Structures are given as structure tokens and as C-alpha cells.
């Protein structure tokens, strides 16, 4: 595709051409109308002038015959800026008038005629166009009365050339302008395309150029840049996850492989084989758990799952899950209590919310015990509270453990993130990210707070009341009344 055809294909250039054609058409119509009207007006004036002269001269002729006519014509011919006159006898001899050197055609014609005549001008004679009426008088004499129409012709020529020049300039400016604007636009689009291709080639950090004019291309570029930022973020997340998968799945896989290899290397012994195989199954189960958690998070983040949302009471769910974990807490010497005050209705998936809550409580029980450095003043306790405020349902799980430093709070929601302090406890580092994904799917979020001392994880989502309100708003409006004629 050559540069010119490419240019011609741009919308801007085509629009320019269309506008150019429309404006040219309009201009031509306007000028032609003007020209035509002017011509008609001038012709009428000319005819009237000549008619009036003729009438006057005819009267003189009738009153005083040829001599009187000759005298009057001679008199009028001397007036500056006068009409053109000629009185001649049948031998073509000029008797009076300011027309000289008459061409034979004019001599022979009768009635209105256009002809050229010569008149003295500075620097010699000049040929000019005239319009006249030729009469044959009794006795073979001729009377010619006319007007110089060279000026009128000049005007016509002027209008015509103005029209042509105007159209020419318009076309030139139109095409040139269209070309310029299109080129500018094309250059920006080409720039955008080139950048896009670079980005597609893998450089996700690149952004589309924004000129700063705030025009539609800028707005488009800004939107695309936001999209790119989101994609980059997702890609970074993906990369991080694959790195972490590499670490968190490969390490146990390697351990598993080593153990099997070791068992095979040792002398055959049923009990050591059995031990090795049992450990292998245990390791495989751990891997399956990690894998399942990863799949669940991926599905939740893709917006899948949670199709079974029912109206449910979070307070009841909190009591339920707390009851499930209560014996575990007791075994660990932690006081687990559920604090609820009346039902907290939400629309949600019981399994997902239950799992999220289970993960939070499990985390609190695992990592929420006061450390030795905190002294004996803090008693180990985990509190789960279901509440609502400002139209939001909230579940808060608080512990008395070492907490999470403010700087780390955002990070621990990521996949596979485990704080150094918690590495000794078994776990995949996926628990909180699963909870965060469940919260997002339900239109809520997760926030980590300081429980002074300890950690409080707040899981919030919209109350059911809002869902009901939305349903009412979305209900169809009453039907349009039908009118019968």
C-alpha cells in the first residue's frame, strides 16, 4: 500500500474531499446565480437606455427630418460618456456620430447587434465591444444607436475568473488542508499502531503516547493505557504466581522424588518401603491441596463460581464455622468466641463464604497465638464477629498474635506469600488470597487492621438489603396504555 492510497483511505481525508465537493458545489451555485442576475439586470438597463435614445431621436427625425437628426446626433456625440451614434447615407458616408470605421457586417445588419469598434485611447486606438440597434431610415440612410458594453463584458470576465480562481483556491486549500490534517492524524495513528505492536511483541511496560490536547485520540490512548496497566498488573501477577508455583510445587515434588529414589536405593525392606510410600501419599495430598487452592483462586478471580448465591445469615454462618473450629482452638489452648448480635443478611455462596471464614479462623488459630516476647499479659484468644454498618456486612476475625506489620498488609493478600515468622507452620500461603478472591467475587474486600496487639482481618460485603433494593429498581415499569380509536 503506497503512502498516497493509505492517505486516501483515512477517514479524515475522505471527509475533507466530501466537504470540499459540497462547498465547491454551493459556491458555484452562488456565483452562477449572482452572475446570471447581474447579466440580466445589465442587459435590461442597456436595452432601456438604447430604447429611450431611439425614441428621442425618432421624435427629432419626425419633427425635423434628416438634418435635425444629424444635428442632434452630432450634438449628443460630443457629450462625454455618451452613447454611440452614427448617421450615414446610403453611400456609407458618415453624416454625424462618434462611431467611425464601421465594419461591413455592422453596415449590412439590421436590429440589435454586438460588434467591435475602435476608439482613441491614451497611446493609440483600442478595440472595444459595443451593442447597438441598426435602423434603416427612409431614403437608405442608416441610424445606429448603441452603448459601449466592454465594461460589462469586463465584469462578466471578472466574475468568471473570480469563480474559477475561487474554486481553484478552495480545492487547493481543501485538498491541502485535508492532506495536512490527515497526515497529522495518520502520523499519530501510525505512532499508536507502532507502539501497540511493540507492546504486542512483549514490551508491556510501554504506553501509548498522549499528546495532552485532551482530544478523542488522547482519550482513547488514555483508556488503552489504563487497560495496558491492568494487563501488565495481571501479567505480573501471573508471572509471580508461576514463579511461586515453581517454588511451592516443585519443592515438594522434588522432596517426593528424592524420597522414592532413596527408598529404591536402599536394600529391599517392606517396612521402609511402606513408610516411604505413606510419606509419598502424604506429600501428594499436600500437592493436590495446593493445586486445588490455586485452581479455586484462579476460577474465583476469573469471576467463575458462586452461581449458587442465596440469601443467608452471616451471623449464623459465623456461629457455625466457629463451632467447627472450637474444639481445635480448645486443643491449642486458645479461647475462640463468636460474637453476633442479630442476623446479618447477605446474598452469597454458603460454601465459598464458609471456606473464607474457615481460612480466616484457621489462620488466626495457627498464627494468632501470642508470642513469648509479648509477655504473659496477653491471653490467647480469637474473636469472630459478624456485624453490619453503613450498608455493609462485616466479619472481623481478631487474634492476639504478633500481627502483620502495616507495610506487609497489602502483600500478604498475594498468592503464596508467607511471612517469615509463619514458615514453621504448615500452609501454602494461599489461604488469605482465596479469602480475598471470595470477597471480591461477592462485591466486597478484605482489610487487615491492628488489633493492638494482634491482627484483625475484616471481610466485608454488601448487605442483602441493597440487593433487594436493586431488584426493586430493576423491576419492569408498568406497561404502556393502549389507546383504542
Partner 1 sequence: MRVLVIEDDQETAAFLKRALKESGHVAEHAADGEVGLDLARTNAYDVLIVDRMLPKFDGLGVIRALRTEEIHTPALILSALGEVDDRVKGLRAGGDDYLTKPYAFSELLARIEVLARRTSPEEGSTRLVVGDLVLDRLSHKVTRAGEAIMLQPREFRLLEYLMKHAGQVVTRTMLLENVWDYHFDPQTNVIDVHISRLRSKIDKNFEQPLLHTVRGAGYTIRDSAH
Site for partner 1, rule CB under 8 A: 278, 281, 284-285, 288-289, 292-293, 295-296, 299, 304-305, 307-308, 320, 323-325, 327-328, 331, 349-352, 354-355, 358-359, 362, 365-366, 427, 431
Give min distance, CB of 259 to partner 1, in A: 18
Of 289 and 311, CB closest to partner 1: 289
Q: How far apart are CA 248 and CA 433, in angstroms?
A: 15
Give min distance, CB of 19 to partner 1, in A: 57
Give min distance, CB of 288 to partner 1, in A: 6
Strand duo 345-348 + 392-398: pairing: unpaired
Q: How far apart are CA 231 and CA 297, in angstroms?
A: 18
Give min distance, CB of 275 to partner 1, in A: 13
Give min distance, CB of 297 to partner 1, in A: 12
Say how far residue 3 (Cα) sits from the centre of its chain: 25
Of 76 and 415, CB closest to partner 1: 415
Q: Dump the DSSP string for 87-152.
A: EE-TT--EEE-S--S--HHHHH--EEEEEEEEEEETTEEEEEEEEEEEEEPTTS-EEEEEEE-HHH
User: What would you report as the CA-atom Rg of the chain, rounded to the nearest whole angstrom?
Assistant: 51
Of 10 and 359, CB closest to partner 1: 359
Of 217 and 334, CB closest to partner 1: 334
Give min distance, CB of 310 to partner 1, in A: 12
SS3 assignment, position 294: helix
Of 224 and 279, CB closest to partner 1: 279
Q: How far apart are CA 153 and CA 105, in angstroms?
A: 21
Of 244 and 296, CB closest to partner 1: 296
Of 195 and 290, CB closest to partner 1: 290
Give min distance, CB of 253 to partner 1, in A: 14
Q: How far apart are CA 378 and CA 35, in angstroms?
A: 103
Of 97 and 368, CB closest to partner 1: 368
Q: 7 near 13, Cβ under 8 Å?
A: yes
Q: Dump the DSSP string for 384-433.
A: EEEEEETTEEEEEEE--S----GGGTTGGGSTT---GGGTTS---S-HHH
User: Could you tell me which of 13, 365, 408 has the C-alpha nearest to residue 186?
Assistant: 13
Give min distance, CB of 209 to partner 1, in A: 44
Kind and range of the H or E run holding 238: helix 216-265
Amino acid at each position: 500500500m503506497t503512502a498516497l492510497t493509505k492517505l486516501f483511505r483515512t477517514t479524515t481525508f475522505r471527509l475533507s474531499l466530501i466537504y470540499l465537493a459540497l462547498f465547491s458545489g454551493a459556491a458555484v451555485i452562488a456565483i452562477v446565480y449572482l452572475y446570471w442576475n447581474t447579466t440580466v439586470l445589465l442587459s435590461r438597463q442597456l436595452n432601456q437606455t438604447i430604447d429611450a435614445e431611439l425614441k428621442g431621436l425618432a421624435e427629432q427625425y419626425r419633427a425635423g427630418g434628416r438634418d435635425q437628426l444629424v444635428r442632434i446626433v452630432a450634438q449628443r456625440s460630443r457629450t462625454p460618456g455618451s452613447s454611440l451614434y452614427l448617421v450615414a447615407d446610403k453611400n456609407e458616408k458618415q453624416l454625424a456620430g462618434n462611431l467611425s470605421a464601421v465594419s461591413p457586417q455592422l453596415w449590412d445588419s439590421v436590429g440589435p447587434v454586438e460588434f467591435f469598434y475602435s476608439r482613441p485611447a491614451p497611446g493609440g486606438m483600442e478595440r472595444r465591444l459595443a451593442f447597438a440597434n441598426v435602423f434603416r431610415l427612409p431614403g437608405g440612410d442608416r441610424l445606429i444607436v448603441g452603448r459601449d458594453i466592454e465594461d460589462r463584458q469586463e465584469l462578466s470576465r471578472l466574475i468568471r475568473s473570480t469563480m474559477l480562481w475561487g474554486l481553484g483556491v478552495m480545492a487547493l486549500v481543501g485538498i491541502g488542508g485535508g492532506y495536512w490534517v490527515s497526515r497529522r492524524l495518520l502520523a499519530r495513528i501510525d505512532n499508536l499502531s507502532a507502539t501497540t505492536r511493540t507492546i504486542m511483541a512483549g514490551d508491556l511496560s510501554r504506553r501509548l503516547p498522549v499528546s495532552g490536547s485532551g482530544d478523542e485520540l488522547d482519550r482513547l490512548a488514555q483508556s488503552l493505557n489504563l487497560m495496558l496497566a491492568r494487563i501488565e498488573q495481571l501479567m505480573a501477577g501471573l508471572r509471580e504466581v508461576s514463579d511461586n508455583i515453581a517454588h511451592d510445587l516443585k519443592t515438594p515434588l522434588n522432596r517426593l522424588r528424592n524420597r522414592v529414589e532413596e527408598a529404591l536405593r536402599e536394600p529391599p525392606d517392606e517396612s521402609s518401603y511402606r513408610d516411604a510410600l505413606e510419606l509419598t501419599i502424604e506429600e501428594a495430598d499436600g500437592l493436590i491441596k495446593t493445586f486445588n487452592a490455586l485452581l479455586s483462586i484462579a476460577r474465583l478471580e476469573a469471576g467463575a463460581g458462586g452461581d449458587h448465591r442465596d440469601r443467608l445469615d452471616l451471623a449464623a454462618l459465623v456461629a457455625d464455622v466457629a463451632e467447627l473450629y472450637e474444639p481445635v482452638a480448645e486443643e491449642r489452648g486458645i479461647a475462640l468466641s463468636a460474637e453476633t448480635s442479630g442476623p446479618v443478611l447477605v446474598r452469597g455462596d454458603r460454601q465459598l463464604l464458609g471456606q473464607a471464614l474457615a481460612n480466616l479462623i484457621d489462620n488466626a488459630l495457627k498464627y494468632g497465638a501470642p508470642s513469648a516476647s509479648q509477655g504473659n499479659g496477653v491471653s490467647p484468644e480469637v474473636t469472630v464477629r459478624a456485624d453490619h454498618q453503613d450498608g455493609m456486612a462485616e466479619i472481623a476475625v481478631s487474634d492476639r498474635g504478633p500481627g502483620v506489620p502495616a507495610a506487609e498488609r497489602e502483600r500478604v493478600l498475594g498468592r503464596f506469600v508467607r511471612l517469615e515468622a509463619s514458615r514453621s507452620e504448615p500452609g501454602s500461603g494461599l489461604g488469605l488470597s482465596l479469602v480475598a478472591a471470595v470477597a471480591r467475587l461477592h462485591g466486597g474486600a478484605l482489610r487487615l487492621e491492628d488489633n493492638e496487639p494482634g491482627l484483625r482481618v475484616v471481610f466485608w460485603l454488601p448487605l442483602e438489603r441493597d440487593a433487594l433494593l436493586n431488584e426493586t429498581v430493576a423491576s419492569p415499569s408498568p406497561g404502556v396504555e393502549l389507546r383504542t380509536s
